[in-house]
Every structure is written in C-alpha cells, then in structure tokens.
Structure 1
Amino acid sequence: MKIDLTGKTALVTGSTSGIGHAIAKGLAATGAQVVVNGRSQGKVDAAITAITKAVPGAKVKGVAADVSTAEGCNALASALPEVDILINNAGIFEPKGFFDIPDEDWTRFFEVNVMSGIRLSRAYMQGMLKRNWGRIVFISSESGLNIPGEMIHYGMTKTAQLAISRGLAELTKGTAVTVNSVLPGPTMSEGVETFVKDLAKQNGQSVEEAASNFVKQHRSTSLIQRFATVEEIANMVVYVSSKEASVTNGAALRAEGGIVQTIA
C-alpha cells in the first residue's frame, strides 16, 4: 500500500516534538502539505527544519499558537482557514496523586487535552463536511480505558477524547469525512524519556532498566513489554489519515501494545 496525500493539508497540533512531530514527518512523507504547530516560533521553526531535512521535498509550514486557550485556537484558525486533516495531538501529562491534584490542574488538563480538540474540530469540521472529505484524529491513550491511579486527571481527559471523537463521527454519516481516535500506550517521546531518566536517577538504574521496570510494574499486561517508539504510533495515525482508511470511522484504534485486556 502506498499512501499518497498529495494536495491535502494536514494540521498537527503540538508537533514540535514527540508523537506529534513523528506524525507530522510521516504525513509529510506522503506528500501532504503539513502545518506544524507549537507554542513558540523558535520550536516551530526548528521542527520545520528537522522535517525538511528528514523528508527531502517535504511541504511544511508552521503556525505558532497556544491551542490550550480559545484565543490561541482562534489565532490558528485565522492563520489557517481550511485543513483536510486535523490531528488533535497537543496534550500534557503529569504523575500526581489524586489528593494532591488541585482544581486548577484539573482545569488546565481539560483545557489542553480536551478543549483544544473541541475548538479546532469546531473550526474545521464544517468545511470538511462541505467539501465532502476530511480526517479528524484525536490522539487519546490507553489511559482513557485503564485509568492510571497515578494520574487520574490525565486519564479523565483521554476518556473524554474518546467520547468526543465518537460523537463527532456521528455527524459525518453518509459523507467521506471520518473521525477516529488513536490510543497509544507508553511511548518513548521526549517528555516520557525525561520522566524515565528521572526514575532511573532516583532508583540508581540505567535508563533501559527503568523503562523496562516501569512497563512491568505499571503496565504489566503489555504484550510487547516495552515502550513504543513515536514512529510506531505515527504509522497508525498516517494510515487513519489516508484515503485508504475510508471505512474506518468512529473507531478507537489501539496502538498500546496489548495492554488493554479486551477483544473489542
């Protein structure tokens, strides 16, 4: 299968690093015009440089905007009035005990992880329906199904994304627009790598040992028994964004290494 998205414009939020950056690079390799997004112009410019270096001939531009706010989402939509593919990837996580999570953290997580996708879907989905083609993908998490005790507020936002994604998919009935979620498991992005390095330092372990022990202790049902790479998650997202994925709609697609112990 050769995925060709030439002529399509794809916006990937939070794509200056991590899974989002890998998705942007993967989409650029299909010929899509990719729009990188991050909060600072410097990081956006650096991401564009990295993608054009990795993918010769890539069509990439960037918009710096903080999608955790209504103002930032409005600024992004003003700078980029139409997209064919929207990847709602921007997100934050932080391990913290339930009794230590203040109200403002719950609000902040909801604004970044949930409201960003709601606002941008509202801005772009009607255009997709009018043109009768489009892809919206929410980057959720297996934590939306297996709520982690160490970060319940994060799990809550990932469950919310699943509900929103399915609800939006219902609005596409009879069209060539699809809305899906992808559920990564533990993935070795830059932010997670920092977290694992801190664990290694605290426990006097190598990074490899700390990563292996984390999966065994906190995600013991994993079938692959390791962290995924950002590219492995991006592969799923690129497919779901493709023309070939035309009958995949309203789905929660697991890319979590078999952590979730169900067959559906």
Structure 2
Amino acid sequence: MASSDNLASRSRTPWQVTRSVWYAMFMREAVARTMRDRFAWFWMLFEPIAFVAVFILIRNFLRGDRFVIGADYIPWLIVGLMGFFLFREGMTRPSNAVSANQGLFAYRQVLPVDPVLVRIVLEGLLRTFVFLIFIVGGLLLGLDLKADLPMLAIWAWMTLWALGAGLGLTLSVVTTLIPDLGRIVSMLSMPLMFLSGVIIPMGMKPFHIQQLMLYNPIAHVLEYLRLGFFEHYKTVQGISMLYVWLFSLFFIAFGLILHLRYAERLKAK
C-alpha cells in the first residue's frame, strides 16, 4: 500500500505537486485569516468606514464643500482608500509569511516563496470582496459608486494588486533576513497614504508638489482607478500606467530572484 502511494506521488508532475501545495496552503491561510479571530471580517469592513468618517469630518472642518472636480467626494474617497488598502495589504501581509510558516519547510515540496504567493493572492481576493461589498452598499445608499469605465477600473485594480505583490515578494525576503526593517515598513503606511493623493486630490496641491508626487507609482494608478469610476474626474497631467507596470514588473522579478538566491537561508531562519 505504501509503495503504491510512493509510486503515485512520483508519477505526479512538478506543476501538480506545486498546485497541491498552493491549494492546501491557501485553504490554511484563508481559514486562519477569516476564522481565527471572530472580529476579522468586522475589522476588514470597519477600518475603511472609520477612515472615511474621520476624513469627511476633517474635510468638512477645513473646507465647506464635499466635492472634487468631476466626482462626489465620499465615493472618490472610498475608491481611493480601497485601492490603497489593496496595495498596502499586498505589500505588508507577505512580510511575515516566511517566518509564520517555518514548520512547513520540513517538507521538500514547500518553498519559502509559496506562502508569500498564497498570501498575496488571498489578500487580493479578500480586498476585492470587501470592495464589492462597499460598492453594493454605497449604491443602496445612493452613492455614485458605479464604475463609468469598468474595464479601466478593473485594469487599475489589477495593477495595484501587482504593484503590492512585487513589493510584498521583495520585502518578504528583506524583512525575514533583516527583521528590524519590518518595523520601518509597517510605519510607512500612513505617510504613503498622504503621499499618494488618497485623501486630498492631487489637483488641489501646488504644481511643484504634484511633480514630486508623480514619482510615486501609487499616485498614478489611484488616479486611473478613480477615472475608471468617475468618467469626468479631472486627473493631473503626467500619469502613466506604463510607469506603474515598470515598477511592478521590476519588483516582481527582483523579489523572485531574491527568493531563489536566499531560499536556503530563509528556510533556516
């Protein structure tokens, strides 16, 4: 019986083995992410609601209007926040994936890159599901959250996912080998939010500030995401999806190279 099991395992192709590993790890991560904490879903929904409420109060205190050019401010803010959270989770969640799954590396079929890829996919799916809940809820409340250019919105959403995935792959190696850098990465979330035009439209800022913000690829893709939802939204000049994809592909390739180069050291950590 044991010999037949060994023969069956040897007859499987490497892709079949990898697919089985990914499926098992995905189910394990999904259960841990959504079921281990009874408030997991609550916090995934409450965090963006709290951010929206706080920033609306701040904006109403500083300015009387609630609109940006070509879009209502509340839907505009929701779209930007959800896009930024997708990027943020893709960047930060994989950082401790290697250390959290050290026990699995005793199996030769499991590589350090596997839990990282699984977390990237899982976080992307969860954030997409949460965003869909916000869209449906917003439409029921009368908010203009219907995408005017759905294909552009989907493409921008996938681009944000890819950008976060590239940084997540890279940081999962760097923060595992140099743990102190993980604290710095976690501290970057709030500054990145302000530097990406999530809260205040880039068009409302001085020209020289806009030019500096255009070095940030997140700002580019958030502008495209908002344009996908609000066809008449006035974006700033100079945004480029190609610029974002150059960053994304570079960090995806660099992260995979780092995983190949330091696979044994990551297993021994």
**With structure 1 as the length reference, what TM-score do the two structures score?**
0.30
Identify, as 1 or 2, the structure richer in helix.
Answer: 2
**Higher relative contact order (Cα pairs below 8 Å, separated by 6+ residues):** 2
- Determine which structure has more spread, i.e. the larger CA radius of gyration: 2
**With structure 2 as the length reference, what TM-score do the two structures score?**
0.30
Identify, as 1 or 2, the structure richer in strand.
Answer: 1
